[in-house]
Amino acid sequence: MNELLALAMTVTEARTAIIRTVSGERFERGQGIPSAVDEMLFGGCVSGSAAALVIRGEADLESYAPEVRFCASVNVFDSAGTLRGTLALADDRPLTLSEAQTKSLLAIAAQVGRFIELTGTVSELRERQVPWWPLIDDVPVAVFCYHIATGRLTYVNRKLAESLGYTAREVLELDSVTDVVTEDQRDVVQEMIRRREAGDEREVRYHTTVRCRDGSVRDAEVHSVVVDVGAERIVIGVAVDVTTQVALGRDLREREEYFRALTEHLSDIIAILGRDCTLTYVSPSAARVLGYEPEKLLGAVLWSAVHPDDAERLRALLSKLRHGVTSPCIEIRFQHQNGHWRTLEVDARNLLGHPQIRGLVLNLRDVTDRKRMERELAQLNRLTSLGRLAAQVAHEFNNVMMGIQPMAEAIRRRAGGDAALLRAADVITGAIQRGKRITTDVLRFSRPAQLTLRPVDVHELIRRAAEEIRPLLGDGINLELSLHDAALHVCADPGQLTQALVNLAVNARDAMENGGTVRVEARPEREGEIDFVHIAVADSGCGIAAGDLPYIFEPLFTTKHRGTGLGLSVVYQVIAAHRGRISVDSEPGAGTTFHILLPSLASDCGSEESAHEAPGDARLQPLRVLIVDDEEWITTGLRASLEASGAKVHTVGTGAEVLPAMAAFAPNVIVLDLSLPDDDGRSVYERIAAVSPVPVIFSSGHASEADVAKLVVPARTAFLMKPYATGELLDTIHGLIEKEISSHV
């Protein structure tokens, strides 16, 4: 195009160029022709667009310049096809335009038409708004006009051009207003132009993005209207650069999303109360903590979910808060949707004066599990303290009963047919056994329970426990068993688990002085991904007062007229040692149900192995027993009982006397007390084992079999907890001796 323009300029150089408009105006170069047209014609500024123009040849030559010998003229049309005037080139030389020169002239005419169109539009706008038009070019907001029929810009002010990084003329040379906006907005703007063309004259506000000359993107808020200018309809618009506001809004939305995500995933409940204590906001965590959907709580009164005993304390806290008095956190019980009570720690702040919040802000933290753990820790501390005392007391008490046990057996042997003496012996023996059970329960608190775990059929265990329970319940109390159809197995110590069930049954018996029913039920249960066996022991007794429920598993706590207060503590410890859980449901007058959850074995692990086999009948004669114990009444009684059974007995009271006695007496078995005045029983055993493989039976009033098993060779040792009967001692002795003989066969 520049080459063609150069040809055209050669034709017209130093000659005359004339523009005559339809309205009769006439411009000649240097004689009032607009500077912009002068630049377009003779400065080489021609774009590639051209209107449909017709070459008129030399027609009207005389009307322009009669003296010239050459004239080329073309009609000038605007973008809508309206004739706007004539462009003529005159020269005194006879010339004929070539095809290339003709095309160049057409391009020049198209630019002239574009200018005349723009000039006419602006002139008409100025005529309609004479007082305000001078301000438009210099206003600090972008102003533009575009033709509805073509979509081409017909006017832009200085602010719009500068914002885009172009000159006003460069913007007006664009093919469409859509060339200004970014690619993703072009279809939107084009659709808006089509609606305008279809007759939509509404004022429109919309957001769009424009691309500047340097490639950057700016956000713009546009307000446009349709106006009639002469016979044409154009759109006048104002665009405000909102890039900064959009960025701030985006940052604000991101921050809102950030804090919304934090609030929605908090474990604490955030609640806002109005002055009337109605809830104006509740965080989504309310659904997780209390089971209520937050939307359903809005407008509700806070007191509806508060425990009646705690409502007054919460009212006092909020009253102080409204008067500007800050208070420390308090713990309040709130009712879960499932009816259970949860303990929540309440931390409150007064933000009634805050313009956005205008309320009392509560942070509610669920501390139910923490309180339970605190109670369990406190109970453990109490048990530990009790255990330290119990170990020593039980040791002394067991020694006393151990001294009585052989004497009761001696009375039975000498009674013959005397019923009174036999009855006395039975009473003494029964009292000793009861005392042994009590000391055994007490000693559980001096050390963790030692379990002998194996697969256990729960149904079989309950049936065996029922055989022990029925005689204890007495007349007027029925025992019912409800066992599940499917097999249930756990990994447990059957003896300790049976003891736990017996203790629960005895506790139920004591709650039913007028008779009733004890029901033992077993069924499978699943929590999350874990399978449990659920054992429930229920009674129809008097129930437990709500104030006593938190303390029922504590040692020595009892509400009954009889009992030691250790039964439920033992149950709690046994279940905890099995990695299980125990809970209780009870209401006064409505009975009590204890729920035990034990981890289930995934499959049938086989039937429970039989208990210890009865010792064989083999006897090694003569039986020689060395008793090492510093309590004289114990050794005296044991000597009498063993000698009555045909054994030979020698006794010593210190560890230093053991090896000499072994050399002189040559015992088949040694009964060794673990607590000696001059030495520890374990050290004495090590000296015994170094000189002889003789079997050793450890005895103690407070140690456990598991404690001994860690330090000795089980094949040549055994353990008896004081007090024990002479028959139990003899069975243990013969069992060890038979194992010793079998190992040498």
Chain segment 676-729, per-residue pLDDT in tens: 888 888 888 888 888 888 889 988 876 665 566 665 556 678 888 777 777 788
| 273-304: burial string, b at 16+ Cβ within 10 Å, e else | beeebebebbbbbbbebbebebeebeeeebee
Cβ neighbors of 422 (< 8 A, separation 6 or more) are 412, 415
Q: How many domains does the chain have?
A: 5
Average pLDDT value for residue range 309-327: 82
pLDDT digits (tens, 9 = 90+) for 168-212: 888 888 888 889 999 999 998 888 888 888 888 888 888 899 999
Q: Are residues 110 and 213 in the same domain?
A: no
pTM (2 decimals)?
0.37
**Domain membership flag for residue 711:** yes
**Domain membership flag for residue 353:** yes
Contact indicator for 599, 581 with CB cutoff of 8 Å: no
Residue 695 preceded by cis peptide, ω within 30: no
- Residue type at 644? A
User: Which pLDDT value is given to residue 442?
Assistant: 63
Model confidence at 636, pLDDT cuts 50, 70, 90, reads confident
Which residue in the block uniquely carries the two structure tokens 């109605």? 278
Lowest mean pLDDT among 270-279, 282-291, 401-410, 728-737: 401-410
Q: Phi and psi at residue 720, in whole multiples of 5°?
A: -130, 130
From 336, 366, 396, the end of a domain falls on 366
Domain with 275 in it: what CATH number?
3.30.450.20
Contact indicator for 701, 395 with CB cutoff of 8 Å: yes
- Distance from C-alpha of 295 to C-alpha of 280, rounded to nearest angstrom: 10
Question: Which of 242, 4, 232, 241 is CA-nearest to residue 104?
Answer: 4
Model confidence at 317, pLDDT cuts 50, 70, 90, reads confident
Domain with 652 in it: what CATH number?
3.40.50.2300
Q: Phi and psi at residue 258, in whole multiples of 5°?
A: -60, -50
Q: Are residues 460 and 585 in the same domain?
A: yes
User: Which pLDDT value is given to residue 364?
Assistant: 87
pLDDT digits (tens, 9 = 90+) for 235-253: 888 888 888 888 888 888 8
Q: Per-residue pLDDT for 229 more than 80?
A: no
Q: Are residues 646 and 725 in the same domain?
A: yes
More confident position, 483 or 32: 483
Q: Are residues 475 and 560 in the same domain?
A: yes
Q: Are residues 565 and 674 in the same domain?
A: no
Q: Are residues 739 and 659 in the same domain?
A: yes
- Distance from C-alpha of 154 to C-alpha of 119, rounded to nearest angstrom: 9
From 94, 128, 162, the end of a domain falls on 128
Question: Which of 307, 299, 309 is CA-nearest to residue 276?
Answer: 299
Q: Are residues 306 and 327 in the same domain?
A: yes
Q: What order of strands is seen across the sheet that includes strand 83-91?
A: 26-28, 16-21, 83-91, 70-77
**Domain membership flag for residue 375:** no
Question: Which of 741, 743, 720, 731 is CA-nearest to residue 615?
Answer: 731
Question: Which of 479, 480, 536 is CA-nearest to residue 509?
Answer: 479
**Domain membership flag for residue 448:** no
Q: Per-residue pLDDT for 627 more than 60?
A: yes
Domain hosting 581: range is 454-599
User: Which pLDDT value is given to residue 365?
Assistant: 87
The helix (run of H) or strand (run of E) holding residue 666 is none
The helix (run of H) or strand (run of E) holding residue 464 is helix 458-473
Domain with 494 in it: what CATH number?
3.30.565.10
Give the DSSP per-residue string, 308-329: HHHHHHHHHHHHHHHTT-----
pLDDT digits (tens, 9 = 90+) for 527-581: 877 889 999 999 888 888 777 777 777 666 666 655 555 678 778 888 888 888 8
| 496-508: burial string, b at 16+ Cβ within 10 Å, e else | bbbbbbbbbbbbb
Contact indicator for 364, 269 with CB cutoff of 8 Å: yes
Cβ neighbors of 518 (< 8 A, separation 6 or more) are 469, 473, 477, 478, 479, 480, 505, 508, 509, 512, 537, 538, 539
pLDDT digits (tens, 9 = 90+) for 570-623: 788 888 888 888 888 888 888 889 999 999 885 434 444 433 333 333 344 578
Q: Are residues 470 and 594 in the same domain?
A: yes
Q: Are residues 634 and 720 in the same domain?
A: yes
Q: Are residues 588 and 483 in the same domain?
A: yes
Question: Which of 584, 729, 719, 709 is CA-nearest to residue 647?
Answer: 729
Cβ neighbors of 734 (< 8 A, separation 6 or more) are 615, 616, 618, 619, 620
Model confidence at 147, pLDDT cuts 50, 70, 90, reads confident
Q: Per-residue pLDDT for 447 more than 60?
A: no
Region class of 310: left (phi > 0), else alpha (psi between -120 and 50), else beta: alpha
Model confidence at 217, pLDDT cuts 50, 70, 90, reads very high
Region class of 617: left (phi > 0), else alpha (psi between -120 and 50), else beta: alpha
- Distance from C-alpha of 162 to C-alpha of 424, rounded to nearest angstrom: 119
User: Which pLDDT value is given to residue 534?
Assistant: 93
Q: Per-residue pLDDT for 284 more than 80?
A: yes
3-state class of 660 per DSSP? helix
- Residue type at 46? V
User: Which pLDDT value is given to residue 418?
Assistant: 80
pLDDT digits (tens, 9 = 90+) for 5-52: 444 444 444 244 454 444 444 444 433 334 434 443 433 322 222 222
Average pLDDT value for residue range 331-360: 85
**Domain membership flag for residue 373:** no
More confident position, 32 or 382: 382
Lowest mean pLDDT among 389-393, 405-409, 694-698, 710-714: 710-714
Residues in the chain: 745
Question: 144 forms bridges with which residues in the sheet?
Answer: 156, 237
- Residue type at 140? P
Model confidence at 232, pLDDT cuts 50, 70, 90, reads confident
User: Which pLDDT value is given to residue 405?
Assistant: 77
From 100, 128, 156, the end of a domain falls on 128
- Residue type at 578? H
- Distance from C-alpha of 148 to C-alpha of 151, rounded to nearest angstrom: 5
Structure letter (DSSP) for residue 446: G
**Domain membership flag for residue 290:** yes
Question: 489 forms bridges with which residues in the sheet?
Answer: 457
Give CA angle at 376 (554, 498), nearest 5°.
60
Q: Are residues 236 and 277 in the same domain?
A: no
Domain with 17 in it: what CATH number?
3.30.450.40
- Distance from C-alpha of 379 to C-alpha of 384, rounded to nearest angstrom: 8
CA-based torsion, 108, 109, 110, 115: positive or negative: positive
Q: Are residues 556 and 486 in the same domain?
A: yes
User: Which pLDDT value is given to residue 35?
Assistant: 41
Cβ neighbors of 530 (< 8 A, separation 6 or more) are 599
- Distance from C-alpha of 171 to C-alpha of 161, rounded to nearest angstrom: 7
- Distance from C-alpha of 17 to C-alpha of 68, rounded to nearest angstrom: 12
Model confidence at 651, pLDDT cuts 50, 70, 90, reads very high
User: Which pLDDT value is given to residue 225?
Assistant: 86
**Domain membership flag for residue 253:** no
Alpha helices in 360-418 (DSSP H): 368-415
**Domain membership flag for residue 410:** no
